[in-house]
Structures are given as C-alpha cells and as structure tokens.
Amino acid sequence: MNALADHAPSPVDLEKAETLIEALPYLRKYAGKTFVVKYGGHAMGEESLAESFAQDIVLLKKVGINPVVVHGGGPQIGKMLNRLGISSNFIDGLRVTDAETAAVAEMVLAGSINKDVAHYINRAGGTAVGLSGKDAHLVTVKKLTRTKKDPDSNIESVVDLGFVGEPDHIDTKVLDLLRQSDVIPVIAPIGVDEKGDTYNINADTMAGAIAGALKAARLFLLTDVAGVLDKDKNLLTDLNPARIEGLIADGTIQGGMIPKIETCIEALKKGVDAAVILDGRVPHAMLLEIFTRRGAGTLVRRG
C-alpha cells in the first residue's frame, strides 16, 4: 500500500488551499484600505445571515482591511410605529417623518438595531462600537426636499418630508481614530442639522457620503437582489456611469435600483474607488466579491 496515497489531502482541503491562493493578491491589494458597508434588508432579519455578515466583517478587520458598517432599519421602524399606533406616509420611497416619527426612528435605529449589529460582530470575535451620526459631530445634515409634478397642470411643488435629511458634512475625526485601532464602527443613519434638530437619513445615502469622505476603496450596498440585472434577468457584473445612463434610459434599471445606482455614482465622484451592489441574502457574499476573480455582485467603477 502506498503510504503517500494514504495521507493524500482531500479534495475539500485542496479546494480550500486554492481559494487561499486566489485570495492572496486581493489581500495584498486591500491591506490598509477602508471598506464602507451598508447593511440592511433580509440579511438583518435572519440570524444565520446576521452571523455570517458579522463573521465577514471580523475577517476583514483581521486581515488588515478597515470596515465601517452603516445599517438601515426601515422595516423595524415600521413595526414599532404600528405597535405605537402611528401611521406612516411615503413619498418616492421616503418616509414622511414628523417629530413623533423621528423620535421613534432614532430610538429604533440608534438603540436596539445599532446595538444588535455591534453585538453580532462582538460575538463573532470582533470589537465593535455603536455610533450614530450625532456622535462626535460625525454627520451634519440639511433638510431633504422633493419636488412633485402635477400630471394635469405640469406644475412642480415642493414636498415637505419632515425630519428627513441628507448628509451635508462628514467629520471623519472619530472614524480616523478608530481606523488606527481594532475597533469596528457601526453607524446608525441619524444626524443633526446646524440648529441641533435630529433627522433620519436614508442608509444608502449615509453610507455613500461616509465612503466618499473616507475615500474608501469600496462601498458595498447589501440588498435583497443579486445586483443590477439586464432585461433577461442576467446579472450585470461590471458597470460605469456612461453605460448606466443608457440602462436607465432604456428602462433596464428602474424603480428602487435607480437611487442605489445614483448613490454609487455619487460616491465615485467623491473619491471612492468602486462601489458594489450585491445580495445580502447570500452567505459571505462580500468575501466572494472581494476575494474571488468572479465576484458576486454588480461592480460600479469610473470607466
């Protein structure tokens, strides 16, 4: 009997070794870089996915990448408002937020959700700290307004969304300090204006603004679809602004994907190397995207 054959590595072990070899160039490429990750959708609602997400974030930190997590929480806010008997109205997918709704949003986002996300990361072996845009002057906002055109008269009017804001200034001081440590920031999408009023912020928009301010190597938007699909439902893996313009014009990109794509393009303009839209329902989707040649989502880059 051949002793060498008896101790031959299993196919599974060989596959693991090949995976590490494939990942090595990417580990070198991204060492010391910053990744901003918007975490939301079903990945937040299912424990197994929350655990795999936390494992991914911890791994990134362990290999020398600096992850910054920005989380959403729209469904959880909706559930709490329903429990409290507070009705919600939406305009173009944005919740109209009066003072009462803003207080509930802050309680849910900066409270239970923020601490749960940090807890999962800590349980996976990381050191996470929960923040909101109100901490350390991180995010100063301006009131977000929308215009709506009357289909009959064609007259545009300004729609008041209440306490819904968009980032006006990002003070990266606290994030710069954390990048030099083992601590992983987990940020709730809440900010204040110059008068000190609290505003709710769309989590994609918040993540894009923070990624731009940090000049991140990657912005990841985890969502509940595979990425940008063509008209035959095939995944488009590599896009740039010029091609995106055509895909919006011909109706390939539509609905809720448009603001996500616009967030990616805006992040590129602010200095982010590339942005990725990928399916947060796939376990370890980020690792597949970062460390394999094939990737796992839609990469958006300048050219």
Residue 160 — φ and ψ, nearest 5°? -90, 115
pLDDT tier at 1, thresholds 50, 70, 90: very low
Lowest-confidence range among 8-17, 113-122, 169-178, 198-207? 8-17
Mean pLDDT of the chain: 88
The per-residue pLDDT for 68 is 98
Which residues make Cβ contacts (< 8 Å) with residue 265, sequence separation at least 6?
A: 241, 244, 300
CA-wise closest residue to 107 among 129, 85, 143, 76: 76
Q: Domain extents for the chain?
A: 66-197, 215-303
Lowest-confidence range among 51-55, 117-121, 154-158, 198-202? 154-158
The per-residue pLDDT for 110 is 93
- % of the chain at pLDDT higher than 90: 60
- CB-CB contact of 97 with 105 (8 Å): yes
pTM of the model: 0.89
The per-residue pLDDT for 51 is 94
Q: What is the pLDDT of residues 69-121, one digit of tens each?
A: 999 988 888 889 889 998 877 776 677 888 898 899 999 999 999 999 999 99
Task: Please tell us whether the domain made up of 66-197 is placed in CATH 3.40.1160.10.
Answer: yes
pLDDT tier at 152, thresholds 50, 70, 90: low
Q: What is the mean pLDDT of residues 203-209?
A: 96
59-68, 143-152, 223-232 — which one is most confidently predicted on average? 59-68
Asked if the domains at 66-197 and 215-303 fall in one CATH topology, the answer is: yes
Three-class DSSP category at 271: coil
The per-residue pLDDT for 130 is 97
pLDDT top residue among 248 and 13:
248
The DSSP string of 119-162 is HHHHHTT-EEEEEETTGGG-EEEEEEEEEEE-TTT--EEEEEEE
- Which amino acid would we find at residue 101? T
Q: What is the pLDDT of residues 266-301, one digit of tens each?
A: 999 999 999 999 998 988 988 988 888 777 899 999
At residue 5, does pLDDT exceed 60? no
* Homologous superfamily, domain 215-303: Acetylglutamate kinase-like (3.40.1160.10)
pLDDT tier at 2, thresholds 50, 70, 90: low
Assigned token pair, 269: 């303009």
Q: What is the mean pLDDT of residues 174-196?
A: 95
Angle at 213 between CA 126 and CA 116, to 5 degrees: 30
